[in-house]
């Protein structure tokens, strides 16, 4: 068992415990344990304290195995980890088209905790990523339209809608940036590059992204911001609908 230097220093022991617990449960059937998620990303928002994520690939996964894990869950959580994702060894590869955004991110940003790298030679098809981004963009647009009607014209409710939608908007831009290979030295720069290509007002992008980490938005500003925000999401949806890998 070996650890890469990119594991969060405060979670190294937690991942070691997780791997040891899983080895005790699965024995030689444990193929690999990998760490992934926001805690491994150098561009994660400052001050965001989130648990670590892990994926374990095993040879065969039964209800008895899951039951054996039950007694370990509380300890994993206390150590700072989310409940690990458990999959059969071949299940991940067979599901790349079903969860393209999620699994592509794991492949791109992971650290092997135990076993060998299970993702060598694996990649998600660009067409699968594009369709997933399109679904997210159009779903976000629908959500904003329905949410606007549900506010019944109340500025405070509109403000709450915009603040609540900011993390999903940030994730949407990040997914599109990954799909198209947007350039930029920082995450914000890459998201702004997406906005430029989609002909979205970068000031609108910046303001909504700021809400993810500073969720303060007055009713008057929300009323002013919403039309431009709605237009930005519509433009993103139209952009990804017609984008094709060159």
pLDDT, residue 42, reads 63
pLDDT, residue 7, reads 82
The CATH number of residue 16's host domain is 3.30.460
Do the domain assignments include residue 36?
A: yes
pLDDT, residue 39, reads 85
Shared domain for 134 and 68, answered yes or no, is no
Angstrom distances, CA of residue 169 to CA of 49, 62, 91, 120, 234: 20, 37, 30, 31, 12
Shared domain for 40 and 94, answered yes or no, is yes
User: Of 4 and 7, which is predicted with more confidence?
Assistant: 7
pLDDT in tens, 122-181: 999 999 999 999 999 999 999 999 999 999 999 999 999 999 999 999 999 999 999 999
Domain finish residue from 115, 136, 159? 115
Shared domain for 78 and 162, answered yes or no, is no
Do the domain assignments include residue 180?
A: yes
User: Of 4 and 99, which is predicted with more confidence?
Assistant: 99
Do the domain assignments include residue 4?
A: no
- Domain tally, the chain: 2
Confidence of residue 2 (pLDDT cuts 50, 70, 90): very low
pLDDT in tens, 156-165: 999 999 999 9
Do the domain assignments include residue 121?
A: no
Q: Is the pLDDT of residue 230 over 90?
A: yes
Shared domain for 203 and 230, answered yes or no, is yes
pLDDT, residue 5, reads 47
pLDDT, residue 245, reads 80
pTM to 2 decimals?
Answer: 0.84
Q: Is the pLDDT of residue 40 over 80?
A: yes
Query: Structural domain of residue 70, as residue ranges?
Result: 9-115
Shared domain for 134 and 108, answered yes or no, is no
Q: Is the pLDDT of residue 238 over 60?
A: yes
Pair of tokens at residue 225 = 């911001």
Alpha helices in 95-218 (DSSP H): 100-108, 126-150, 155-180, 187-197, 202-213
Q: Is the pLDDT of residue 4 over 70?
A: no
CB neighbour class for 212 (10 Å; exposed up to 12, middle 13-18, buried from 19):
middle
- Calculate mean pLDDT across residues 76-103: 94
**Whether 61 contacts 86, CB under 8 Å:** yes
Do the domain assignments include residue 120?
A: no
Shared domain for 132 and 227, answered yes or no, is yes
Shared domain for 65 and 85, answered yes or no, is yes
Rounded Cα distance between 111 and 34, Å, is: 5
pLDDT, residue 184, reads 86
pLDDT, residue 38, reads 85
């Amino acid at each position: 068992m070996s650890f890469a230097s990119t594991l969060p220093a405060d979670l190294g022991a937690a991942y070691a415990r997780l791997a040891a617990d899983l080895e005790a449960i699965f024995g030689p059937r444990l193929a690999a344990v990998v760490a992934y998620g926001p805690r491994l990303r150098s561009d994660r928002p400052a001050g965001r304290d989130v648990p670590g994520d892990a994926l374990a690939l095993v040879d065969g996964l039964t209800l008895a195995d899951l039951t054996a894990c039950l007694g370990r869950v509380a300890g994993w959580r206390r150590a700072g980890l989310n409940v690990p994702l458990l999959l059969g060894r071949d299940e991940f590869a067979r599901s790349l088209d079903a969860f393209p955004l999620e699994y592509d991110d794991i492949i791109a940003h992971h650290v092997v905790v135990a076993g060998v790298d299970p993702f060598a030679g694996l990649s998600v098809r660009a067409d699968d990523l594009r369709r997933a981004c399109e679904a997210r963009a159009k779903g976000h647009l629908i959500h904003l339209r329905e949410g606007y009607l549900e506010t019944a014209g109340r500025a405070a409710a509109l403000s709450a809608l915009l603040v609540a939608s900011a993390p999903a908007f940030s994730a949407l831009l990040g997914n599109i940036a990954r799909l198209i290979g947007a350039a930029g030295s920082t995450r914000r720069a890459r998201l702004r590059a997406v906005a430029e290509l989609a002909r979205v007002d970068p000031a609108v992008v910046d303001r909504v992204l700021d809400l993810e980490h500073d969720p303060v938005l007055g009713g008057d500003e929300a009323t002013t911001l919403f039309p431009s925000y709605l237009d930005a999401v519509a433009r993103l949806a139209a952009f990804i609908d017609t984008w094709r890998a060159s």
